[in-house]
Amino acid sequence: MNNQQLPERDFRFDRREFAGSLGDLGTFIPLLVGMVKTCGLQLCPTLLLSGIANIITGWLFRIPMPIQPMKAIAAVAIAEGLTESQILTAGILTGGVVFIFGISGLIDWINKAIPKSVIRGLQLALGIKLFIAGTNMIISTHAWVGWDSAVLALVCGVVILSEKLTSQLPRALIVFTIGVIALLLSNPDLLTAPRLGLSWHWPDLGQRSDWLKGFWAGALPQIPLTTLNSVVSVCALSADLFPRKYAQPKRVAMSVGLFNLAICPLGGMPVCHGAGGLAAQYRFGARTGGSVVMLGLCKIGLVLWLGGSLLAWLTHFPQSVLGVMLMFSGFELAKVCRDQRLRTDITVMLTTAAVCILLSTSVGFAVGLLFSVLLMKVWTQTRGRSSDNNHQAG
């Protein structure tokens, strides 16, 4: 049975849902490993707590709503070498602001005030960014042939595109299995007995300098990105993919806020929901909340089973496989923009996307919103003149 033909349910626990749950690993693993290795973020509490968040999210929303790293905080942390406490304080501050947006109802006003063409521009930009990031992952392997190479990426791409070849097994599951096999063949030492044990320490969040750095370097660029991509865009995409049970902005904002207010003080990375993650999981077969529930259980199981050796597994997972998954996730997200048919809407969408890619999401949003208002004003004036002319002619 085709994924599109499956009856709609709140929960399904099968191989297609499990395969879909793996769709967002192309974003999750690289950012997580980067923050762990560069900034000293704790791996075990991050996986354990994000796993619990996956289970709660699947139960609350009944769709494959993702749990992702906050991308702006992660990017700044890796690039500038933020400390663990600075990352966590940035997550707490962002979560607090977004929670206020949700509980006050301000997020509903923001959602209604933003034109759909601007939202589509944000989604198109993110889709293109994911596609480029996936391509860069493959290029970064610097190898044409091998267990992490362009040829391996090509094989995975063919598997994803070939429906007849994978009619019995979900494509994401096949691709992920190929990645695990390549991982173990290139690093046979990982097959040695896993190091059990949960490594965890309480983070020190008492330094005023860390809160200031966390706000200016992490929270300030993250708040608009979370509001637009993790709330507004993901709700719009959920309405496209799941019109009977789409996510409401107020609930999503409160969810993001509460998760970070609970997770970050315990040492877990800042998390959010995201349109890219939802598109990725849907692209690879996820249709119900059961997919992210299974992913959460897997994260918790991996922490308890692999313990201290888990970082080595994540670090050495083939970049070429993750890159292919990221590329197709970006394509899936960009596809929703096809519903923009009017010339003015297309112009606003492309302008928003271009500025987002060239500058930043917040600047692109501001430019797109301003451009939309100006175009609407010009269109209204032109229509008014045309109506007057017709009236005079009559």
Residue 353 lies in a domain: no
Cα–Cα distances in Å, from 329 out to 66, 105, 114? 13, 31, 24
Beta carbons within 8 Å of 221's beta carbon, 6+ residues apart: 72, 73, 76, 360, 362
Q: How far apart are CA 298 and CA 180, in angstroms?
A: 15
**Is 366 contained in some domain?**
no
**Structure tokens that stand for 190 in this block:** 């990982």
| Phi then psi dihedrals of residue 195, to 5 deg | -90, 105
* pLDDT score at 3: 44
Q: How far is CA 187 from CA 107, 177, 271, in A?
A: 47, 15, 30
Number of domains in the chain: 1
| Domain coverage including residue 10 | 3-341
Does some domain include residue 233?
Answer: yes
Three-state DSSP string of the chain: CCHHHCCCCCCCCCHHHHHHHCCCHHHHHHHHHHHHHHHCCCHHHHHHHHHHHHHHHHHHHCCCCCCEECHHHHHHHHHHCCCHHHHHHHHHHHHHHHHHHHHHCHHHHHHHHCCHHHHHHHHHHHHHHHHHHHHHHHHCCCCCCCCCCHHHHHHHHHHHHCCCCCCCCCHHHHHHHHHHHHHHHHCHHHHCCCECCCCCCCCCCCCHHHHHHHHHHHHHHHHHHHHHHHHHHHHHHHHHHCCCCCCCHHHHHHHHHHHHHHHHHHCCCCEECCHHHHHHHHHCCCCCCHHHHHHHHHHHHHHHHHECCHHHHHHHCCHHHHHHHHHHHHHHHHHHHHHCCCHHHHHHHHHHHHHHHHCCHHHHHHHHHHHHHHHHHHHHHHHHHHHHHHHHHC
Q: What is the pTM of this model?
A: 0.80
Residues 307 and 38: their CA atoms lie apart, in Å, by: 20
Contact 274/234 with Cβ under 8 angstroms? yes
Neighbour count for residue 118 (Cβ, 10 Å): 29
Task: Measure the CA–CA gap between 352 and 119, rounded to whole angstroms.
Answer: 9
Instruction: Per residue of the chain (394 residues), give pLDDT as tens.
Output: 344 444 567 889 998 899 899 888 878 888 888 888 888 899 999 999 999 999 999 999 999 999 999 988 888 788 788 899 999 999 999 999 999 999 999 999 988 888 889 888 888 888 898 888 889 989 998 899 999 999 999 999 998 888 655 455 677 788 888 999 999 999 888 877 666 667 788 999 989 999 999 998 889 878 988 898 889 999 999 999 999 999 999 999 999 999 999 999 999 999 999 888 999 899 888 999 999 999 999 999 988 887 767 888 888 889 999 889 888 878 887 887 888 888 889 999 999 999 988 987 778 888 999 988 888 777 666 665 555 555 555 5
What's 197-236 look like in SS3?
CCCCCCCCCCCHHHHHHHHHHHHHHHHHHHHHHHHHHHHH
Q: Does residue 376 form part of some domain?
A: no
Residue 108 lies in a domain: yes
* 363 within some domain: no
CB 371 within 8 A of CB 352: yes
Query: Phi, psi at residue 272, to the nearest 5°?
Result: -155, 170
